[in-house]
Structure 1
Amino acid sequence: MSDGATSPDPGELLAWYDRHARALPWRVPPGAAHRADPYRVWLSEIMLQQTTVPAVKPYFERFLTRWPDVAALAAAEDAEVMAAWAGLGYYARARNLLKCARVVAGELGGVFPDTAEGLRALPGIGPYTAGAIAAIAFGRPEPVVDGNVERVMARLYDIAEPLPGAKASMRARAAALTPEARPGDYAQAVMDLGATICTPRSPACGICPWREPCLARARGTQGERPVPAPKKGKPTRFGIAYAGLREDGLWLLETRPAKGLLGGMLGWPGSDWAEGTPEEAPPAKAGWQDAGAEARHTFTHFHLRLQVRVAHLPLSAKPARGSFQPLDPASLPTVMRKVHAIAAPALRHD
Structure 2
Amino acid sequence: MKNEKWNELSPETVARLQAEFLEWYHREKRNLPWRATSDPYAIWISEIMLQQTRVETVIGYYYRFMELFPTIHDLAAADEQKLLKVWEGLGYYSRARNLKIAAQQIVDEYHGEMPKTIEEIRKLKGIGPYTAGAIASIAFGLPEPAIDGNVMRVVSRLFEIDEDIAKASSRKTFDEAMRKIISHEEPGEFNQALMDLGSRICTPTSPECAECPLQDFCLAYKDGRQEDFPVKTKKLKPKDVYYVATALENSKGEYLLQQRPASGLLASMWTFPLMEVSETEYQRLLKEWQKKTDEQLSLFVAEESELPEFFDQKVVWQKRHLGEITHIFSHLKWHVLLFYGRTEQKELEENQRFASVNAFNEYVFPKPQQKLVEQLKKNHLSDKDF
| CA RMSD in angstroms, aligned pairs only | 2.5
Cα pair distance change 1:197/1:271, threshold 3 Å: same
How far residue 281 of structure 1 moved from its aligned partner, in angstroms, is 6.3
Higher helix share: 2
Contact kept, 8 Å, 1:87 with 1:330, in 2: the verdict is: no
Cα pair distance change 1:319/1:41, threshold 3 Å: same
* Equivalence for 1:282: 310
Consecutive unaligned residues of structure 1, counting only runs of 5 or more, are 29-34
> Which of 315, 318, 341 is the matching residue for 2:347?
318
Contact kept, 8 Å, 2:238 with 2:328, in 1: the verdict is: no
Supply the distance in 2 between the matched residues of 1:134 and 1:287 (Cα, whole angstroms).
59
* Equivalence for 2:327: 297
> Which of 29, 34, 55 is the matching residue for 1:26?
34
Cα pair distance change 1:231/1:251, threshold 3 Å: same
Contact kept, 8 Å, 2:270 with 2:363, in 1: the verdict is: no
How far residue 132 of structure 1 moved from its aligned partner, in angstroms, is 0.7
How many residue pairs align between the two structures?
Answer: 342
* Equivalence for 1:235: 239
Contact kept, 8 Å, 1:114 with 1:134, in 2: the verdict is: yes
Supply the distance in 2 between the matched residues of 1:202 and 1:264 (Cα, whole angstroms).
42
RCO higher in 1 or 2 (8 Å CA, sep ≥ 6)?
1
How far residue 110 of structure 1 moved from its aligned partner, in angstroms, is 1.5
Contact kept, 8 Å, 1:71 with 1:110, in 2: the verdict is: yes
Contact kept, 8 Å, 1:135 with 1:142, in 2: the verdict is: yes
After superposition, what is the alpha-carbon deviation per residue over 1:223-247, rounded to whole angstroms, capped at 9, x for unaligned? 2211221343332110122222233
* Equivalence for 1:53: 55
Supply the distance in 1 between the matched residues of 2:280 and 2:266 (Cα, whole angstroms).
21
* Equivalence for 1:147: 149
State the TM-score, normalizing by the size of structure 2: 0.81
* Equivalence for 1:111: 113
Supply the distance in 1 between the matched residues of 2:125 and 2:178 (Cα, whole angstroms).
25
After superposition, what is the alpha-carbon deviation per residue over 1:8-34, rounded to whole angstroms, capped at 9, x for unaligned? 522221121111111111113xxxxxx
* Equivalence for 2:177: 173
How far residue 275 of structure 1 moved from its aligned partner, in angstroms, is 6.2
* Equivalence for 2:267: 263
How far residue 167 of structure 1 moved from its aligned partner, in angstroms, is 3.6
> Which of 173, 180, 195 is the matching residue for 1:191?
195
Contact kept, 8 Å, 1:269 with 1:283, in 2: the verdict is: no
Consecutive unaligned residues of structure 2, counting only runs of 5 or more, are 283-306
After superposition, what is the alpha-carbon deviation per residue over 1:170-190, rounded to whole angstroms, capped at 9, x for unaligned? 232122222321111111111
Supply the distance in 2 between the matched residues of 1:233 and 1:330 (Cα, whole angstroms).
31
Supply the distance in 1 between the matched residues of 2:111 and 2:277 (Cα, whole angstroms).
42
The percent identity for this pair of structures is: 37
After superposition, what is the alpha-carbon deviation per residue over 1:197-227, rounded to whole angstroms, capped at 9, x for unaligned? 2122222222222111100000001122112
Contact kept, 8 Å, 1:250 with 1:327, in 2: the verdict is: no
Say whether residues 1:10 and 2:29 are aligned partners.
no
The amino acid of 2:102's aligned partner reads C
Partner-residue secondary structure (3-state), 1:328 = helix
> Which of 62, 77, 82 is the matching residue for 1:75?
77
Supply the distance in 1 between the matched residues of 2:205 and 2:118 (Cα, whole angstroms).
33
Contact kept, 8 Å, 1:240 with 1:270, in 2: the verdict is: yes
The amino acid of 1:226's aligned partner reads P
Supply the distance in 1 between the matched residues of 2:80 and 2:312 (Cα, whole angstroms).
27
The amino acid of 2:310's aligned partner reads P
